[in-house]
Structure 1
């Protein structure tokens, strides 16, 4: 029997957990620093007591920026094998979190297998699963019914749950006054909004928030407080609806910490580049430096098919200015369920953004691999360069597709390679081009 219910409770009591030991070692962060920040809520270690295959990760101040991959079964694509292939790809690339966003049928078939094999943190959005799990239409679901789904996911071993508790009567009033261009683009948020409007009731996750926290505390599930009113276009970013909900989330964050439940705060969305830094500062201030989890943000709305790039640009800026956790975006965003290649492209783009931000933030050791890559480039050691790459397969394929006559160069420069020329001169050798 553990002497604590959650990682936060353990930290407040000065207890070093096995998960803290793992995070401290991975991050080379002194234990006293880690335990202090977990106790304050500035670092979360999502680790459900029933997720036995987990390799714990920390999210928050002073740690590497983590990335999340969205997967799951939908009504239009019920291919369990393909989704599991995406899971294995995500694990191979070292992604720290996988969110199962399944919204079709009895979703726990896929989720239970995912939890069984995944060393990555597992997240879910119980709202997506409510209709299938409860076998009721939206209007027929009661407030307490929604809590049953939260508990079912917690029991299965989910490490963090996105719960849209910040959308309530007050924030809906602000949203309606704003007259947005793209209204509500959060799937879970839109379903809750519809339920509230149809029934005339308050958001059950807000009304029964203390009961939700008790469920999460029992299994040490981190609450990821969803941003139902996140902007779905750069036109709507930083508007009254978004900020009003963020203020509510700040209060909900403190209430969760009082019950020793760890918190992630979810953020935008779509946002022009010049607004991102200010939004990160505002979130950290209003939400008491809780770890910030952002989708993108996408910095333009006109690049369907390339939104992994628009997201990576925004994600790099966001993380460099304080975001702690990036949700990947694939080229298929806004268009279809991503295939395996889309997932790979989204992962690589997000890892580039996260790593670039860690360099900018001065995370210890972040530049080490870049320096090794640069040294290998100077020596023109192709095998070593491939080994340091985020995706080692793609650069090898590019290089081998048009190989140079001289393996100490590439086919772009040939014998005019700047590295080759400089190396020869510094070694006292004669440079011959012909």
Structure 2
């Protein structure tokens, strides 16, 4: 039996090669995975032209996945440096990389990235349009925007952020509801500006069916972008954000009808006490589609430390049911991240994702923690380093301050509770001198 996309296959009861791979990674029954894909609760972003891909599932009941953003810009146009970041992200087991390149002819970088990446690749086609056509935003035609989508699909992109929720109707809501920080989404601001300059409907909304046809042909998962996501605590959960979320839910239904897999993108900056309710709203309004959040960043006062503010929000969001975390680095709001910034962002996001998986009871999540606890009980430092989420940093910290007793650390020394309890329980002498 033939099928066009993973969603089409699932609806027809066909188990694909990608489903088998994901089921094995997640240690779940493939029939259960198939049913979740058929319902739209899980997606497997896997473009037919991405040959290097090791597929991952995103959605309900699966491990929380993380995404790493990178790409060239006008001020930092170093393709090789960005590719090195991508290689490091893959080495650190990030499941997804988004190419947010916004300058020049990005075809070469995108294709080199797809060629080496076992991680799924996402893009935001509207970013590419300005450099690709080398003309003012106002002068780009709707058909040219759609051609960029098609080019990315042909190149092998697994999922694309499409800002179709900011249409003329949601734009009017934005105009009537004053915000402290207006529109902070790069794609959202570009399309709002295009609509205002041309007095026309958002082409990604007006020609949404054409985009769905492209996605269905290459099995591109559509990530419905949150153009009106809150960019500061003051704007969170406002009328603009919720109106767009309702629109995204309507667009998701249209995508399902054409067998296109859907992810919904979410906030943004948000108070701690609003996160759980926002996840519930997305799941209700968007038919259980996987929720992909940037952070959420839970306070606006920590430039230089936003990997921490983001990890706090990400852990709460994922524990509440969000499925996919977009990492944030210490450089957020300040500059393009370096490879060291990227590493810190990945570690922070992976900690948040794993903490949430423990809370959600994801299968096998606790095995890792229990193995670490057993290694600590035995004071097996090599095993602790092997199990650490960042072995390099753990080894460096210990080597910088070695204890007199190699079993202990320089924090407690002879008063090490673990060492002394091991000895007293086995009847050994415990000497603190």
TM-score by length of 1: 0.99
Could you tell me how far apart the structure 1 residues matched to 2:419 and 2:62 are?
38
Task: Find the counterpart in structure 2 of residue 228 from structure 1.
Answer: 227
- Separation in 1 of the partners of 2:176 and 2:367? 50
1:366 aligns with 2:365: yes
Superimposed CA distance per residue, residues 268-304 of structure 1 (whole angstroms, 9 cap, x where no aligned partner): 0000000000000011000000000000000000000
CA distance in 2: counterparts of 1:389 and 1:289, whole angstroms: 33
Give the match for residue 181 of structure 2.
182
Partner of residue 216, structure 2: 217
Deviations along 1:362-409, one digit per CA (max 9) or x if unpaired, are 001011000000011111100000011111100100000011111100
Is residue 140 of structure 1 aligned with residue 139 of structure 2? yes
Q: Please give the secondary structure, in 1, of the residue aligned with 2:228.
A: coil
**Alignment match, 1:411:** 410
Per-residue deviation, 1:32: 1.2
Aligned counterparts of 1:9 and 1:196: Cα–Cα separation in 2:
34
The 5 A counterparts of 1:306-317 are 306-317=305-316
1:135 to partner: Cα distance: 2.1
Give the Cα separation in 1 of the matches to 2:149 and 2:83.
23
1-structure distance, mates of 2:132, 2:15: 37
Q: Residue deviations 1:47-89, cap 9 Å, x none?
A: 0000000000000010000000000001101112211111111
Q: Which runs of 4+ in 1 moved over 6 A?
A: none
CA distance, structure 1, for counterparts of residue 174 and residue 388 of structure 2: 44
Partner secondary structure for residue 427 of structure 2: coil
- Tell me the C-alpha RMSD between the 2 structures: 0.7
Partner of 1:345: 344
Match of 1:357 in 2: 356
The separation in 1 between residues aligned to 2:308 and 2:291, in whole angstroms, is 21
Q: CA deviation at 1:178?
A: 1.1
**Distance in 1 of aligned mates of 2:379 and 2:241:** 50
Provide Cα deviations, 1:396-424, integer angstroms capped at 9, x if missing partner.
00000011111100011111100111011
3-state DSSP class of the match of 2:365?
coil
Deviation string, structure 1 residues 111-132 (Cα, Å, up to 9, x no partner): 1011001000000000000011
SS in 1 for 2:234: helix
Residues in 1 aligned to 2:107 and 2:317: alpha-carbon distance in whole angstroms = 33
Equivalent in the alignment of 1:5 = 4
Aligned to 1:352, the other structure's residue is in SS state: helix
Specify the alignment match of 2:63 in structure 1: 64
Distance 1:40 1:258 in 2: 12
Q: Secondary structure at the match of 1:231?
A: coil
> For the residues of structure 1 that align with 2:318 and 2:175, how far apart are their CA atoms?
31
What SS does the corresponding residue of 2:265 show, helix, strand or coil? strand
Q: Provide the C-alpha distance between the structure 2 equivalents of 1:426 and 1:89, rounded to a whole number of angstroms.
A: 44
TM-superposed CA distance for 1:425, in Å, is 0.3
Structure 1 counterpart of 2:92: 93
1:151 aligned partner: 150
Aligned partner of 2:195 in structure 1 is: 196
CA distance in 2, matches of 1:17, 1:136: 42
